[in-house]
Structure 1
Amino acid sequence: MTVNTAMQNVRKLFISQAVMLLNAGMLGLGTLLTAILGFVYWWFAARSFSAEAVGLAATAISLMNLLAHLSEIGLGPFLMGEISHQRQPGSFLTGALLATFSAAIVVGLIYLGIAIYTSTHLGSIVSSSASDLFFVAGCALTVVTIVLDQALVGLLRSGLQLTRNVFFAVTKLILLIALGLTIGRSASEMAIFATWVTGQFASLVMVVGLLVYAGTRVFHRPEIRVFQPVIRHVCGHHTLSIAVQAPGLLLPFVVTVMLSPQINAAFYAAWTLLNVALLVPASLASVLFAIAARDMELFPVRLRLSLGLSVLACTVTALAFFFFSRFMLWIFNPAYAVIAGNSLQFLGIAAFGMTAKYHYLAVQRVRRRLGVATLILIGGAVLEIIAAVIGARFGIAGTANFWVAAVSLEGLLLCPALYWATRDIAKPSTTVPSAADGLATNLGETGQRGFASQN
């Protein structure tokens, strides 16, 4: 190998890592800003409204996010891996947004049909025709933001995604403050929930405005046919994404149903902080997958970098929860510290298991080994939910600790696969993958959106 060749390889590695870190940095900056604003949002809610209203609103938001992710039908990750290869990305994106928006309406209406015969524990949020339709609209708006954000990551335009998320966080906070100043503690869970949905809508309007101002064509004829050859693969990957996200989105609902809305208000405060910490490894993983679509040769190197930074973030998270969980709850509301006490001090350990799940899913998607991954992650999701339900018999500590044990066990089982993936030497990619092949090899993890939507 000549000196020039060696220098070219070093330069290629540096540029590749710089692109990943730049876009991950954009996501990280957005994470930091939305984390701060999300903390202020839930802090103000805890200080201004009743624990029951906050607990019910938090449960409804988690349930709305779960229904939105179900409605995504895998098109978000598909866009993340494939939109950069399309000749008409605008039509490609429009078709995906239209399909997922329609799916969210159907899924939301199905849920409402089920809720008629069950106790939903959502208070006034699902209590009348008007509130029911508003809840469905919230599901549809949420899935649009999920798909749009992942498409922006796939286009390496994380700056615009950052802008939308920060605008959303600021808008919902302003609306919540206005609600607290005008109505105060008498505000219902529906009023709190409305600030969230309205903020989502405003952020979408803002993105459209920015694109129009920049002279970018916004409305395109939707392209649906391109999805037809890969619909089976899309559904398969969607199953994997739901297996990763569903337990986390269901946990606040389990706490509300098995314990009480008041206990969930305290739990959700800690849950929000954990989700903020999880955005760090999820953001790194998302950009890792997006860049894998362009150059597979350096995937093991990028994987090691992503894992190293993620483990560092997880260590800080676990230590913070262990020593300061009660104090963090006290900051939200002194009553929350009384409700939970030190019951949530081990919650931060779950960050290690979640990080392993994000990266394991990346490896299996890139290596086209989805059969085993599907079985393992679905089994893990069932284990997490069952553990949380059983743990609820022992109160909030039991719910949290049983769930942490389950997700930690998953992480340990996935570590060998991650180790060997970091040692593999990938062959250089010589062709641009087709839509079907690209889906199987280049889809990114959507956990980042699953947790970002809760802040």
Structure 2
Amino acid sequence: MSVGELVAGRVRSVRREMGNPLYRNAYALMLNTVVNSGFGLLYWVFAARVFSTEEVGRGNALVNLMMLISVLTSLNFGQAIIRFLPTAGRDSASLVRLAYGVSTVVAVVGAGAVMTWCHYAYDPGDPLHVSPGFAAWFVVSTAAWSVFNLQDQVLTGLRSAMWVVLENGVYGVVKLGLLVVVAYTAVADGVFTSWSAPVIALLVPFTLLISKRLLPRHAAETAAEPDAGAPDRATLARYMGGDYLGQVFNQAMSSFLPVLVVMTISQAASAYLLPAQTVFLAMSMLSMAITSALVVEGARRPSHAHVFARAVLRRICLLVLPASLVIALAAPLLLWFYGPQYVENSTTLLQLLMASMFPRVVVTLWMTKERLANRTFGLAAQQLVHCVIVLGGIPLLAPTLGVDAVGWMWLAGELVLAIAFAPSVYRWLRRPAPPEEPGDGPAGPGDGPHDDDTRPIGGPDARTHEIPRVRD
């Protein structure tokens, strides 16, 4: 085979891959994770260089407070959007409006309560004291942030995740540019302002894009599908109830973990935890990006969800797991940028967290299967078990292992859950592929993963494999 034929084969394979909504959404969400992480790193590096440590500390605290309130008051509507919007049909717009409305109202109430506390409970001069004017800006910013995040989930549910990359890429550029501007002006709370102002500005164009173009097109395309329509309020409430409870356990563990490390080990150990935890969260988000795309396609064709899951598993094994292995091997080099003390104290921790990505694959697939079956209270139980294992085990191991106790207990929690869920996941993946539904039509380029999707990504022989059509 000549070089030209090899290149042409790979180009055809890539086009086929990107023509498939499942893979296109997954790769777009993975790219979005990389874009967000990159701009986030640049933002805080620049902020640390041009602002005082006090200003950076207050700005970081306020930004994280805003995001925490947004997470807790969104009621996990985003995951419900990913699950139900793909099949909402002509109810798509009303489902999105419901998500926007409820999240905005609850965010305003929650942020207003927190700002009232910060204004009256802290004396002027305290880092957490806020003026009435800033409190109002914080409330508006929190509501806008909630809708901004929901738009990512809406675009994912509409199989238009490439817009998510553009939205967050533009936000990252504008946020960084505005940080430069406020650094050389007298704007108060410049860090928080540069973080929140672009969100409000970007809401208008992307809201118009979704409401005027993407939602009407999606509603028209899915209206004729069997069982098209939004779920009833009881089903939606049950789904969100279990999902939200699991999110609370997960958020509580993530937020309390640095505090527990300080309590049981030392303040320095909490610092050593930070870079390892940051890298681990980024890798976890890559896996979540792929499975979010799986939920969308599985919701549209439930009978083929396990077929799609096999294709997704293969891509996780080819992309996410090798990246985790590379990071684990290169941990000393990566931590060198933080300083020699981090290399000495954080290397094993980072390697253990990367090792936990392997059993995490089983857990993530099980969570996806449960979401598609609307069994979200099982997700809450899973998060609770993991929370108890990690937070309960760290104080026992900390006296002898130090900060490495976090890595060992995290790995232990994932292994326990993976062992428990492996039989269920295996049976799900090994189901035979159902026959093609009437109207699916002949195989077309990139319309859906083949039952035995074992060809190399981008391989020259990919053109010889036909794949069943996924209705768009």
Q: Is the TM value for this pair above 0.5? A: yes
Structure 2 CA distance for aligned equivalents of residues 416 and 56 of structure 1 = 48
1:306-329 deviation digits (Å, cap 9, x = unpaired): 223223444334334433334324
Query: 1:371/1:266 Cα in 2 relative to 1: closer, same or farther (>3 Å)?
Result: closer
Give the stretch that moved more between structures: 319-328 or 263-272: 263-272
Query: What TM-score do you get using the length of structure 1 for normalisation?
Result: 0.72
Query: 1:40/1:409 Cα in 2 relative to 1: closer, same or farther (>3 Å)?
Result: farther
- Retained in 2: the 8 A contact 1:60–1:193? yes
Residue 206 of structure 1 deviates from its aligned partner by 4.1
Which of the pair has more CA radius of gyration? 2
- Retained in 1: the 8 A contact 2:80–2:236? no
- Retained in 2: the 8 A contact 1:256–1:264? yes
1:144-178 deviation digits (Å, cap 9, x = unpaired): 12222111111111122222111222222223344
In structure 2, which of residues 318, 324, 330 is the aligned counterpart of residue 324 of structure 1?
330
Query: 1:161/1:302 Cα in 2 relative to 1: closer, same or farther (>3 Å)?
Result: same
Taking the TM superposition and a 5 Å limit, the aligned residue runs for 1:378-389 are: 378-387=384-393
2:423: which partner in 1? 416
Residue 136 of structure 1 deviates from its aligned partner by 4.2
1:342: which partner in 2? 347
Structure 1 CA distance for aligned equivalents of residues 231 and 299 of structure 2 = 22
Percent identity of equivalent pairs: 22
1:25: which partner in 2? 27
1:289: which partner in 2? 295
Taking the TM superposition and a 5 Å limit, the aligned residue runs for 1:195-214 are: 195-208=194-207
The 3-state SS of whatever aligns with 2:90 is coil
Structure 1 CA distance for aligned equivalents of residues 434 and 257 of structure 2 = 41
Structure 2 CA distance for aligned equivalents of residues 118 and 404 of structure 1 = 40
Structure 1 vs Structure 2 CA RMSD: 4.3
Residue 262 of structure 1 deviates from its aligned partner by 7.7
1:172: which partner in 2? 175
2:142: which partner in 1? 139
Query: 1:379/1:402 Cα in 2 relative to 1: closer, same or farther (>3 Å)?
Result: closer
Query: 1:275/1:208 Cα in 2 relative to 1: closer, same or farther (>3 Å)?
Result: same
Structure 1 CA distance for aligned equivalents of residues 159 and 61 of structure 2 = 33
Structure 1 CA distance for aligned equivalents of residues 141 and 48 of structure 2 = 22
- Retained in 2: the 8 A contact 1:364–1:373? yes
Residue 17 of structure 1 deviates from its aligned partner by 8.6
1:124 aligns with 2:127: yes
- Counterpart of 2:317, as a letter, is V
Give the stretch that moved more between structures: 206-215 or 303-312: 206-215
- Counterpart of 2:347, as a letter, is N
1:249-272 deviation digits (Å, cap 9, x = unpaired): 554565678788887566444433
Structure 1 CA distance for aligned equivalents of residues 264 and 192 of structure 2 = 22
Structure 2 CA distance for aligned equivalents of residues 280 and 259 of structure 1 = 30
How many residues align? The count is 405
1:176-203 deviation digits (Å, cap 9, x = unpaired): 34455669xxx99x54344322343333
Q: Which runs of 5+ in 2 are unaligned?
A: 1-15, 217-229, 439-472
Residue 18 of structure 1 deviates from its aligned partner by 1.8
- Retained in 1: the 8 A contact 2:261–2:269? yes
Query: What TM-score do you get using the length of structure 2 for normalisation?
Result: 0.69
Residue 74 of structure 1 deviates from its aligned partner by 3.5
Q: Which runs of 5+ in 1 are unaligned?
A: 1-13, 218-223, 432-455
1:198-237 deviation digits (Å, cap 9, x = unpaired): 34333324424656997999xxxxxx99646632333223
1:11: which partner in 2? none
1:360 aligns with 2:370: no
Structure 2 CA distance for aligned equivalents of residues 118 and 386 of structure 1 = 33
Residue 426 of structure 1 deviates from its aligned partner by 6.9
Query: 1:213/1:377 Cα in 2 relative to 1: closer, same or farther (>3 Å)?
Result: closer
- Retained in 1: the 8 A contact 2:246–2:381? no
Residue 100 of structure 1 deviates from its aligned partner by 0.7
Structure 2 CA distance for aligned equivalents of residues 286 and 268 of structure 1 = 26
The 3-state SS of whatever aligns with 1:39 is helix
The 3-state SS of whatever aligns with 2:350 is coil
- Counterpart of 1:154, as a letter, is G
- Retained in 2: the 8 A contact 1:57–1:192? yes
Query: 1:244/1:281 Cα in 2 relative to 1: closer, same or farther (>3 Å)?
Result: same
1:69: which partner in 2? 71
- Counterpart of 1:322, as a letter, is A
Structure 1 CA distance for aligned equivalents of residues 372 and 288 of structure 2 = 16
The 3-state SS of whatever aligns with 1:87 is helix
- Retained in 2: the 8 A contact 1:68–1:142? yes
Taking the TM superposition and a 5 Å limit, the aligned residue runs for 1:398-417 are: 398-417=405-424
Give the stretch that moved more between structures: 318-327 or 142-151: 318-327
Structure 2 CA distance for aligned equivalents of residues 248 and 274 of structure 1 = 12
The 3-state SS of whatever aligns with 2:356 is helix
2:450: which partner in 1? none
